Structure 1
Amino acid sequence: MKTKEEEKQISKHYQELKAHVKGFLKSAEQEELHQFRVQFKKMRALLTLLQSGDKHPKLLKQVKPIQKMFKKAGVIRGAYVNLQLSHQYGFRKPEFEDKQQQIILSGANRFYCKGPKQLEQLKRTRKKLMNSLHRLPAKTVQNFYQDMLNEAADFLQSPVFDERLHDCRKKIKLLMYNQKVADSALADKLTLNKDYLNQLQDTIGKWHDVVLALELFHTDELKHEPVPRQLKAQKDELQKSIVSLAENFRQKAVLEQASAEKKKPAKNKAVQ
């Protein structure tokens, strides 16, 4: 993977991160915060790939200031999602809603107060990353993809429904996030079945959302609500779907490659 390609992707992520931070500071819209977090996950996925090379040992450490912003934004988003879930399942508890609103308000105020500093941190981090980039050999990219696929395949042979399944989803999304930038290195070596991988990670994501919703109903304010029965039924159905989708993961995740000979254009036969 060429250095110019790496620089292009880092610059793209930086511009998106900056735009969403500015957007949230201006409008306080939750979607801006959500997109900031999504964009950071994409940048982190790229850096994880780049760090697999011998010349990129500390790239992830360089984004620690953005990681802190990501976590703070996650606290705000978590409270917002809790409110959305409470409305989705049809209960209104003033003390619960007041607590979540307070988390959102205080978190947003802190985010706003540190806005200029955070934008400057983004700029400095981009500069550090640009100065640290080196060309990533195609073989390194290929090995990285094979390792991630093998790790996911090993786990999904007998999936366990705990945080490890969520971690497995992260590995799958990491491969998908980097697919475009890794295409040239993977050409004729590995072609991912994007539709299958997206279906699997999306189903695991829905399962994780239900798990988080169930955890919400263990809080003091909501522990006597009848809703968990519905959620447990949803969780059971999603787990069955995941087991079915995960079967033969390695074979489903990669599309068969035509041999080099088959890809060569056929020679015209001489007229007899």
Structure 2
Amino acid sequence: MQKKEIKVQIKNEGRAAKRSLHGFIKKGNQDKLHKFRVGIKKLRAIASMIEQTNARIDISKALKPVRDTYKLSGKVRDSYLHLKLVKTVSGAHKKYRSREKLVMKKAGNKLSKYRPHHFRMLHRAWKSLLRSVPKVKDKKVNAFYETELRGIETCLISNTGVEQMHGCRKRLKVLIYNLPMVHGSLDKPLDEDYLQQMQTAIGDWHDHVLAADQFPELVDQSQQMLEKVKVLAGNFYALATLHKDQLTSKRR
């Protein structure tokens, strides 16, 4: 995989993240905020893969300038999702909703008030990442994906802890986010639909588990969602990988 391919992906994601952040600050659009956060995660995923395929390179530090912006956006997004989730709980406490609304408002105001700074830090981060890009050998990419797929399978089968399963999901996202850039380098095509379904199921369960700390009514539903995750995770590696003929069939 050539440097040029990696740099094109970084440029595209950096510009898209900037547009999305601008869209949220201008109109408070939560979908735009979500896209901004996904954009940063995609840049992190690129850095993670590069580091794991080039042992002597520490490229993640390039993204440090955008860390505070990402944390603020996370406060807004988490509170928004919490408020959305508690709508499904009868008798959700007014103080809880008021507290989440306040957290969301304060963080959103900080993003808006200091927007020139946040845009400057985002631009600095993705430019720094561009300057640090090495060439990544195809065999290294294949080895990385093979190791991660096997590791995620073990993780999904053996763990039910909240943090451990959340870690499985983060590893899944790294593979998914890098697929547009590496698909031409992979010996084994991957079933992206299945991988997306898997990470979404874990994410939905994780959100309910965290909310259940405040609202015990969600405990039973959280357990049901965990069972769904476990069923979906059965035979993970075989379901995640595709043969060439299967890939052709899916595209028809």
Measure how far apart 1:92 and its partner are. 5.1
**Rg larger for:** 1
Report the Cα distance in structure 2 between the residues aligned to 1:12 and 1:47, rounded to whole angstroms. 15
Verify: 1:199 aligned to 2:186, yes or no: no
Match of 1:47 in 2: 47
2:72/2:108 contact within 8 Å kept: no
Q: CA RMSD in A?
A: 1.9
Report the Cα distance in structure 2 between the residues aligned to 1:138 and 1:248, rounded to whole angstroms. 26
Measure how far apart 1:55 and its partner are. 7.4
Verify: 1:236 aligned to 2:226, yes or no: no
Match of 1:59 in 2: 59
Relative to 1, partners in 2 of residues 1:55 and 1:161: Cα closer, same or farther, differing over 3 Å? closer
Match of 1:216 in 2: 214
Measure how far apart 1:240 and its partner are. 1.9
Give TM-score, length-normalised by structure 1: 0.83
Report the Cα distance in structure 1 between the residues aligned to 2:55 and 2:230, rounded to whole angstroms. 39
1:51/1:57 contact within 8 Å kept: yes
Deviations 1:101-148 (A, max 9, x none): 221221112111221011111222222122111211111111110111
- Given candidates 250, 253, 268, the residue that maps to 2:237 is 250
Q: Which stretches of structure 1, 4 residues or more, deviate above 4 A after TM superposition?
A: none
Relative to 1, partners in 2 of residues 1:166 and 1:55: Cα closer, same or farther, differing over 3 Å? closer
- Amino acid of the residue matched to residue 189 of structure 2? T
Match of 2:125 in 1: 125
Q: For structure 2, which runs of at least 5 residues remain unmatched after alignment?
A: 246-252
Q: For structure 1, which runs of at least 5 residues remain unmatched after alignment?
A: 218-227, 259-272
Q: Which has the higher helix share?
A: 2
Measure how far apart 1:86 and its partner are. 2.3
Alignment of 1:84-99 (within 5 A): 84-91=84-91, 93-99=93-99
Give TM-score, length-normalised by structure 2: 0.89
- Of all paired residues, the percent bearing the same amino acid is 31
2:53/2:144 contact within 8 Å kept: no
- Amino acid of the residue matched to residue 250 of structure 1? Y
* Count, aligned residues: 245
Which range moved further: 23-32 or 34-43? 23-32
2:62/2:126 contact within 8 Å kept: no
Relative to 1, partners in 2 of residues 1:185 and 1:163: Cα closer, same or farther, differing over 3 Å? same
Measure how far apart 1:257 and its partner are. 5.4
Report the Cα distance in structure 2 between the residues aligned to 1:8 and 1:192, rounded to whole angstroms. 22
Relative to 1, partners in 2 of residues 1:126 and 1:198: Cα closer, same or farther, differing over 3 Å? closer
Relative to 1, partners in 2 of residues 1:206 and 1:196: Cα closer, same or farther, differing over 3 Å? same
Report the Cα distance in structure 1 between the residues aligned to 2:184 and 2:159, rounded to whole angstroms. 32
Match of 1:138 in 2: 138
